[in-house]
Amino acid sequence: MLRRIITTGGPFCLGATAVTVSDGAKSAAPQEKPDNAQYKCKPSDLPLYAPLHAKNKKPEPAEHKDSAIRQNVESGVSVVRKEVFGAYNAVASQTKVLDDTFKKGKDQTKFIVDYLNEPGNTMPRVGAVAIGGLAGFIFALRGGFIRRVLFTTLGAGGVASICYPKEAEVYAQHGIVEAKKYANIAYNFTFGVKPGDDVNAPNWPKIPTNFSELSDTISDMAKSAKDALLSSKK
């Protein structure tokens, strides 16, 4: 009996063993992913208003087109900006040229004045005074004799004051004193004032002795003229 069972059950045991071994071999082999694995997702990730395939597509940015009014405004502003900057650059370049020219002229004038003020340059100073007188005479050619003499004297005296600044200041002070004296004589002669009479001398305007006083005097005169014109209009 036992021999029959062993004889008849042997093939079935071997078959079971073979099936078991073959199942182990199948489990050890790597499992291939199906083609639709990329479409698998959680229920919470499911789109509500789009198809499932839209999840893997990149969103394309929408093209933004400006309106015609905005394009016209931007083009107008661009044209105005370019024109303004072009005009500014032109003015800046001309201003730079004028500044350079003024600086060069100032430096050359300073060099000439310093050269003429040197003690050993007597002949150049004489020549400069002569040129100043000649320039004044040329400016007064169309005038009469008095105008020619006056302009020639002013030209020569102006250049001489530059060549001899200290002497010019001394002579200017003497000239101011003499001018005031003769002005008082003319005033007394006009109003019939005798030498022994007690009369207050008129207050003559102060004559400027330097550039700052001259600028202050000119500004005061301009202010007085402006006030007089405004009062006359009222």
Q: What is the structure's pLDDT at 76?
A: 87
CA dihedral 200, 204, 209, 211 (to 10 degrees): 140
Of the candidate ranges 17-26, 87-96, 197-206, the one whose mean pLDDT is the lowest = 17-26
pLDDT at 223 > cutoff 60: yes
pLDDT tens per residue, range 130-165: 898 888 889 888 888 888 888 888 888 888 888 887
Q: What is the mean pLDDT of residues 8-35?
A: 47
Would you give the end-to-end CA distance of the chain in angstroms? Answer: 155
- The whole-number pLDDT of residue 47 equals 62
pLDDT band at 114 (very low <50, low <70, confident <90, very high): confident
Residue 63 or 81, more confident: 81
Calculate helix-pair angle for 145-163, 68-116, nearest 10 degrees. Answer: 80
Predicted pLDDT of residue 119: 79
In a domain, 172, yes or no: yes
Which range, 37-41, 50-54, 216-220, has the best average confidence (pLDDT)?
216-220
Domain that holds residue 217: 166-195+207-221
Residue 28 lies in a domain: no
In this predicted structure, the answer to whether residue 18 has a pLDDT above a threshold of 60 is: no
The reply to whether 43 falls in a domain is: no
State the Cα–Cα distance between residues 155 and 138, nearest whole angstrom.
10
Helices marked H in the chain = 2-28, 68-116, 122-139, 145-163, 165-191, 211-233
pLDDT value at residue 184: 76
When the pLDDT of each residue in the chain is averaged and rounded to a whole number, the result is 72
The residue type found at 127 is G
Q: Count structural domains, the chain.
A: 1
56 contacts: CB under 8 Å, gap ≥ 6:
38
Kindly report the backbone phi and psi dihedral angles of residue 199, in degrees, each rounded to the nearest multiple of 5, phi listed first. Answer: -130, 135
| Encoded tokens for 65 | 């087109």
Q: How many residues does the chain have?
A: 234
Please say if the pLDDT value at position 175 is more than 70: yes
- Whether residue 28 has pLDDT greater than 50: no
Q: Which residue has the tokens 């199948």?
A: 26
Q: Is residue 3 part of a domain?
A: no
User: Which of the pair, 135 or 196, is modelled with greater confidence?
Assistant: 135
Taking the C-alpha atoms of residue 114 and residue 123, their distance in angstroms, rounded to an integer, is 15
Domain membership flag for residue 185 = yes
Return the structure tokens found at 68. 């015609």
The reported pLDDT for the residue numbered 35 is 60
In a domain, 91, yes or no: no
Q: What is the pLDDT of residue 32?
A: 58
Q: Determine the Cα angle at 25 with ends 22 and 27, to 5°.
A: 110
Report for 39-43, 48-52, 110-114: range of highest mean pLDDT: 110-114
Q: What band does 16 get if pLDDT is binned at 50, 70 and 90?
A: very low
Residue 24 confidence (pLDDT): 44
- Is residue 179 in some structural domain? yes
Q: Residue 114 domain-assigned?
A: no
| CA 11/CA 5 separation, integer angstroms | 11
DSSP symbol at 42: -
For 172-188, give one letter per residue: b (16+ CB within 10 A) or e: eeeeeeeeeeeeeeeeb
The predicted structure's pLDDT at residue 132: 87
